[in-house]
Amino acid sequence: MTYQPTFPASLQTAASALLRQLPAPDPTRPLQGFRVTVQGETLSAPNRIYLAAGSLYSILEESEGEIRTLALCFGTRHCDGYVREECLRQLLAAGSNRDWVVPFIVQLLGEYVIEIIELIADAIPNMNPAHLASFSAANPEFMALTRRRVTSYWDCYHRDRYGRLELYPGSVALNAIEHLVLTQTEPSIVSDAP
């Protein structure tokens, strides 16, 4: 299925501006990637974008604010793993506190580039725990699919390096996110004692 852009209302202006800057896609590309819920609204991303790296970097240099952040998010969907890694590094370095960035980062855990997965696993402790927990709780099917992909890539490519699945950085990151869901949603104990 061809990618159908869908963004939360708060992101519509930036998304429209970014999509105008991107060259018209090949009609056979990009394919629909993921559709998730962010703060009760739908956000979709392409499976991959096929754009010259120089064109994407030019857009990044000329953009700022939400448009630049969204361009970095789209860069995490780029067909070149080095471009995906560079865009991720910039997203993580910026310390983005936007809830709609989370799905672009979590999606990368279910892919095969170990350097990207290690970056995310290292970054999880510095990310906004409320955003991670909220996203995970609102998207259980997406999280389950990501976990299956993590398991599959570990089994196919990384089992020799990480002898146990729980040691694999993708699993470490997903387990940390699941822990956040539990700790963010646990009811607090209120005592009536003086």
- The first and second tokens of residue 63, run together, are 């953009």
pLDDT given at position 95: 74
Q: pLDDT tens for residues 17-43?
A: 998 888 765 545 667 889 999 999 999
Q: Taking 70 as the threshold, does the pLDDT of residue 192 lie above it?
A: no
- The first and second tokens of residue 54, run together, are 């120089």
pLDDT given at position 74: 95
CB atoms within 10 A of CB 2: 11
pLDDT band at 189 (very low <50, low <70, confident <90, very high): very low
Q: Taking 50 as the threshold, does the pLDDT of residue 191 lie above it?
A: no
Nearest Cα to Cα of residue 40 among 137, 181, 170: 137
> What whole-number distance in Å separates Cα of residue 9 and Cα of residue 29?
25
Q: Mean pLDDT, to the nearest integer, of 105-130? A: 96
> What whole-number distance in Å separates Cα of residue 147 and Cα of residue 13?
33
Q: Mean pLDDT, to the nearest integer, of 105-125? A: 97
Domain boundaries, the chain: 9-185
pLDDT given at position 3: 81
Q: Are 108 and 120 in contact (CB under 8 A)?
A: yes
pLDDT given at position 124: 95
Q: Are 43 and 4 in contact (CB under 8 A)?
A: no
Beta bridge partners of 117: none
- Residue scoring higher pLDDT (30 or 13): 13
Beta bridge partners of 35: 44
For residue 31, which phi and psi values (nearest 5 degrees)?
-85, 155
Q: pLDDT tens for residues 131-160?
A: 999 999 999 999 999 999 999 999 999 999
Tokens 């939400």 -> residue: 66
- Mean pLDDT score of the chain: 90
Q: Taking 90 as the threshold, does the pLDDT of residue 71 lie above it?
A: yes
Element (H, E) at 15: helix 12-21
Residue type, 162: Y
Cα 88 to chain center, whole Å?
9
Q: Taking 60 as the threshold, does the pLDDT of residue 173 lie above it?
A: yes
- DSSP one-letter code for 161: T
Q: pLDDT tens for residues 49-64?
A: 888 999 999 999 999 9
